Amino acid sequence: MKCIFILTLSIYFLLPSSTIDAANPTEIQQQIEQVKRDREALIEEQKKLQVELEAINKERQTLGTSVKTLDATRKKLTKDISITQSKIKSTNLTIQTLEDSMSEKERQIAIHHKAIKDTLALLSEYDSHPLLLDVLAAGSLSDLWKDRSQLEGLNSSLEEEINSLRETRKILSQEKEQKERMKKEQLTLKGQLSGQKSVIEESKKAKEKLLAETKSKETEYQKMLAENLARQKESEEDLYKLESGLQIELDPSLVPSPRHGILFWPLDNIFITDSFGQRPTRYHNGADFRATVGTAVKTVLSGIVQGVGNTDETKGCYSYGRWILIRHGNGLSSVYAHLSASLVKTGQSVETGETIGYSGGYPRAFGSGNSRGPHLHLGLFASQGVEIRQFTTSKGCKTVSMPIALGLGVYRDPLAYLPTL
């Protein structure tokens, strides 16, 4: 019986690995490659639409240009959604591949476990026999040494099998971690998809509202632009009066000194349209970046979402529009304003470069606030001097809660902390 067992185990250990390893999931891999090729084609189309949209935006602001901009924006956003759906499909296929591989690794571990358990049991039984009994039971001394030699060889194979088992477990653990990362990525992509769909809806509503308010007349459109400019000035003056009247003593040791590279860019493509600081007729409390509606907005640094809101929810309030405030761990807080969609919630942790929303700013679109054109407003505060509170001293935003600096000295120039161009 002992010799039969040795022979059986020897055959098992000499079996080619292909009988244990899972077959390569070639079919799924082919699907993944096809999805990638399709996505590359979508990205090329998206780039063309982006160029077309930017060309339209450079035209003189007229009613016709605005309608063309909104139509082009919807086309580009539809392509963005297709790309996101493609990424979700690709992620699903990758997760399926990982699950198949993990199942095979778990099967291998079970086989190894059983083989090791049986081998150790029989080795233990063999070693429990007195040597004298083995000598008497053997047909000859040469048979005894041969038997012993086979067991030693099996013991060596057993060691190799244990090492192999450890390696299989290590790979399984890595694949499990990868699967968790992929699932997290999938959730992020689904959130982005939802945000992109809401941007399309807002873009559609903005076009309908624009045509209704202007009655398709150029004179009415130019009148609307003039009203927007007046509302922006009024909103900025209200905020300036409030914040210039507040005074907080900041602890300078809690705020990093200006240095390029402390923060990261909030957009993939950077074009600054307005910088920070005092102007002859107004005070600009942040930096503005050119961004077509629906452009992904990213965190400049990891942190905690302190609040989200939309000043447009109160009729007659023209301020930040849809905004997100993030508190960073280095004593700074950043605000992102005039967004067409927000993807985060208060209290949520975010990583550097994570997509938190989409840019907006199209005049009169819900969430644009006092914006006169598509862009992203990025503001920066010393964290100890900014609060989310009601704007009770304003003319049209008395019931609105938004980030308010407890003194103009709380503001910081974002461009002094962002990378150099």
For 129-168, the pLDDT digits (tens) are 554 445 445 555 455 455 556 566 666 767 777 777 788 8
Please, what is the average pLDDT of the chain? Answer: 84
Mean pLDDT, rounded, for 200-206: 89
Q: What is the DSSP track for 73-122?
A: HHHHHHHHHHHHHHHHHHHHHHHHHHHHHHHHHHHHHHHHHHHHHHHHHH
Most confident listed range (40-54, 191-205, 403-417) = 403-417
DSSP state of 254: G
State which residues form the domain around 23: 2-190
Residue 233: which of 382, 396, 378 has the closest Cα?
396
Tell whether the model's pLDDT for residue 8 goes beyond 50. Answer: no
> Sign of the C-alpha dihedral, residues 120, 122, 128, 132?
negative
Query: Which pLDDT score is estimated for 14?
Result: 36
CATH number at residue 391: 2.70.70.10
- 19-77: pLDDT as tens digits: 334 445 688 888 888 888 888 988 898 889 888 888 887 888 899 988 998 899 889 98
For 345, phi then psi, to 5°, come to: -125, 155
Residues 241 and 172 in one domain: no
Q: Is residue 183 part of a domain?
A: yes
Residues 156 and 55 in one domain: yes
Residues 45 and 173 in one domain: yes
Residues 114 and 43 in one domain: yes
With contact defined as beta carbons under 8 Å apart, do 339 and 355 qualify?
Answer: no
With contact defined as beta carbons under 8 Å apart, do 234 and 336 qualify?
Answer: no
Structure-token pair, residue 102: 């993990």
Query: Which pLDDT score is estimated for 3?
Result: 43
First CA to last CA distance, the chain: 79
Q: Is residue 209 part of a domain?
A: no
Q: Is residue 285 part of a domain?
A: yes
Residues 157 and 265 in one domain: no
Residues 128 and 51 in one domain: yes
Residue 95: which of 1, 185, 210 has the closest Cα?
185
For 276, phi then psi, to 5°, come to: -85, 145
Query: Which pLDDT score is estimated for 303?
Result: 97
Residues 353 and 256 in one domain: yes
Domain count for the chain, please give it.
2
Residue 263: which of 373, 98, 415 has the closest Cα?
415
- 216-267: pLDDT as tens digits: 999 998 998 888 888 888 888 889 999 999 989 999 999 999 999 999 999 9
